[in-house]
């Protein structure tokens, strides 16, 4: 089993499960607000407020990327861990724990952003998605702190499913931004045009 960093500009965490035939389902994903692609035309964001929101949002995203960046050559080279508990599990515990913290920090930063009313539902939904992803990462970190390979595998499978949902959640936020920008006459930011938040899934 090998851990690899997602490098398609989202810089999240995903996993390659090699030789794993478990059918464990893991725990279900936490609910995330669904209808976030609609912007109420009766409360359009002012151009100034929307630009400020997007600027602060992108700053939080950039800091999250820095939080997730590999800190050692070993992390950058997709560290390998053994199927049974040993010292490699402790290294993965720290790696996943740091990733979980990065998601919690990003969620708190988004909570502090001055959000226009037209983007509030989308922002809240994206924060919920970040909390879910952080929880899944923490579950994996906690499993690496144990001695049960089956529990670890369940946590890994749940994280894989959450990774897919994270891209879908990102696509919803991007659509909300596009609608708000069109309604307010604000240029669509590059991170949305290039689908950085959805990992390329918005138009795939």
Structural domain count, the chain: 1
Q: Tell me if 31 is assigned to some domain.
A: no
Residue 50: count of CB within 10 angstroms of its CB: 22
Specify the pLDDT at position 126: 95
Looking at the domain assignment, is residue 80 inside a domain?
no
40 domain residue, yes or no: no
Nearest to 94 by CA among 154, 140, 27, 131: 140
| Domain-embedded: residue 151 | yes
CA–CA distance, 24 with 158 (Å, rounded to integer): 9
Structural domain includes residue 88? no
In this structure, of 9-23, 112-126, 162-176, the range with the lowest mean pLDDT score is: 9-23
In a domain, residue 18? The reply is no
Confidence of residue 76 (pLDDT cuts 50, 70, 90): low
Alpha-carbon distance 142 to 130, whole Å? 18
Instruction: Please state, rounded to an integer, the average pLDDT across all residues of the chain.
Output: 80
Domain residues for the domain of 126 are 45-66+93-204
Distance, CA of 155 to CA of 99 (rounded, Å): 15
- Model pTM greater than 0.85? no
Q: Residue 167: which H helix or E strand, with range?
A: helix 149-184
Indicate if the pLDDT at residue 16 is higher than 70: no
pLDDT for res 14: 39
Taken in order 178, 182, 186, 188, the sign of the CA dihedral is positive
Query: Radius of gyration (Cα) for the chain, nearest Å?
Result: 18
Q: Give the other-Cβ count within 10 Å of 171's Cβ.
A: 20
Q: Evaluate whether residue 78 is within a structural domain.
A: no
Percentage of the chain modeled with pLDDT above 70: 74
Decide if 101 is inside a domain: yes
Summarize pLDDT for 21-52 with one digit per residue, the tens. Answer: 333 334 444 444 334 334 444 456 799 999 99
The gap between the terminal CA atoms of the chain, to the nearest Å, is: 28
Region 142-164: what's the mean pLDDT?
95
Query: How crowded is residue 185: how many other Cβ atoms within 10 Å of its Cβ?
Result: 9
């Amino acid at each position: 089993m090998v851990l690899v960093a997602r490098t398609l500009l989202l810089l999240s965490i995903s996993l390659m499960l090699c030789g794993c035939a478990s059918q464990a389902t893991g725990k279900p994903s936490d609910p995330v607000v669904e209808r976030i692609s609609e912007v109420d035309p009766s409360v359009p964001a002012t151009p100034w407020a929307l630009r400020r929101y997007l600027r602060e949002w992108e700053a939080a995203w950039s800091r999250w990327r820095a939080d997730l960046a590999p800190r050692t050559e070993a992390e950058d080279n997709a560290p390998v861990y053994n199927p049974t508990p040993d010292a490699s599990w402790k290294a993965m515990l720290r790696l996943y724990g740091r990733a979980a913290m990065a998601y919690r920090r990003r969620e708190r930063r988004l909570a502090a952003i001055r959000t226009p009313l037209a983007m509030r539902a989308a922002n809240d939904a994206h924060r919920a998605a970040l909390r879910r992803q952080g929880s899944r990462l923490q579950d994996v970190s906690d499993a690496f702190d144990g001695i049960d390979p089956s529990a670890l595998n369940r946590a890994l499978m749940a994280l894989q499913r959450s990774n897919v949902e994270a891209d879908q959640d990102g696509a919803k936020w991007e659509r909300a931004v596009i609608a708000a920008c069109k309604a307010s006459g604000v240029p669509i930011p590059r991170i949305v045009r290039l689908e950085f938040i959805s990992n390329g899934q918005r138009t795939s």
